[in-house]
Amino acid sequence: MAQNTERLEAIMTAAPVIAVLIVNDPHKAVAMAQALIRGGIPGIEITLRTPNALDCIKAISDSVEGALVGAGTVLTHHQYEAAVKAGSTFVVSPGATDNLIAAAEEFTQVPLLPGASSPSEVMKLLEIGYERLKFFPAVPAGGTPMLKSLSSPFAAAKFCPTGGIHIGNANDFLALPNVLCVGGSWIADARAIETEDWVGIEQRAREAAALIV
């Protein structure tokens, strides 16, 4: 069974940036998501790196209209299932395993954006029908030169580079023909969330939403 490309691409093209976030307080997560939406960034990836990450996903899913909230750093079938139950609209993983692909085939309504950083990994994912991929870790794995080199031999693959992306280099990635969006944490970093800097988050979201596509 192939990737749910149509549903995933709609999420990837909703804005130039998917906000990648580490948050543990569901109340703050809701206020943060509202600020992102006001700024024009609906794609929200809550990484499963805190004890209450799933609760944060559920809170956003239940109460923030227009949010396309997903779960990131999903490593196992169990985490995938839990992310779906929490209300995720998509799932992101730093890589791809048979176990994760099996979970994606079980929960086709919640598509998987799997990570890849080498030609062999891209080839394996294309072989099983996965054409929308996360390029991770983007900058350490070769940045824009690496993505350019992947464009010609793998024309069907379109990427969301994540890892080392910020407002200063995001346009360099977005200008590439095989990049649909980028993932970044600069819009709402841990300090901004902890200090409840919703105004600052909204402003950075507006800047991100205005990036080239």
pLDDT tens-place string over residues 52-64: 999 999 999 999 9
The amino acid present at 133, given as its one-letter code, is L
Confidence tier at 119 by pLDDT (50, 70, 90) = very high
Q: How far apart are the first and last CA of the chain?
A: 30
CATH number at residue 75: 3.20.20.70
Pairing of strands 17-21, 182-184: parallel
Listed in sequence order, the residues at least 6 apart from 127 whose beta carbon sits closer than 8 Å to its beta carbon are none
Is pLDDT of 147 > 80? yes
Q: What is the mean pLDDT of the chain?
A: 97
Phi/psi zone of residue 129: left (φ > 0), alpha (ψ -120 to 50 degrees), beta? left
SS3 letters across the chain: CCCCHHHHHHHHCCCCEEEEECCCCHHHHHHHHHHHHHHCCCEEEEECCCCCHHHHHHHHHHHCCCCEEEEECCCCHHHHHHHHHHCCCEEECCCCCHHHHHHHHHCCCCCEECEECCHHHHHHHHHCCCCEEEECCCCCCCHHHHHHHHHCCCCCCEEEEECCCCCCCHHHHHCCCCECCEEECHHHCHHHHHCCCHHHHHHHHHHHHCCCC
Burial class (CB in 10 A: 0-12, 13-18, 19+), 20: buried
Q: How many distinct structural domains can be found in the chain? A: 1
pTM (2 decimals)? Answer: 0.96
* pLDDT of amino acid 212: 84
pLDDT digits (tens, 9 = 90+) for 151-192: 999 999 999 999 999 999 999 999 999 999 999 999 999 999
* pLDDT of amino acid 208: 98
* pLDDT of amino acid 11: 98
Is pLDDT of 1 > 80? no
| Structural domain that includes position 135 | 5-209
Rounded to whole angstroms, how far apart are CA atoms 118 and 150? 9
Positions marked active-site: 45, 134
Rounded to whole angstroms, how far apart are CA atoms 96 and 144? 22
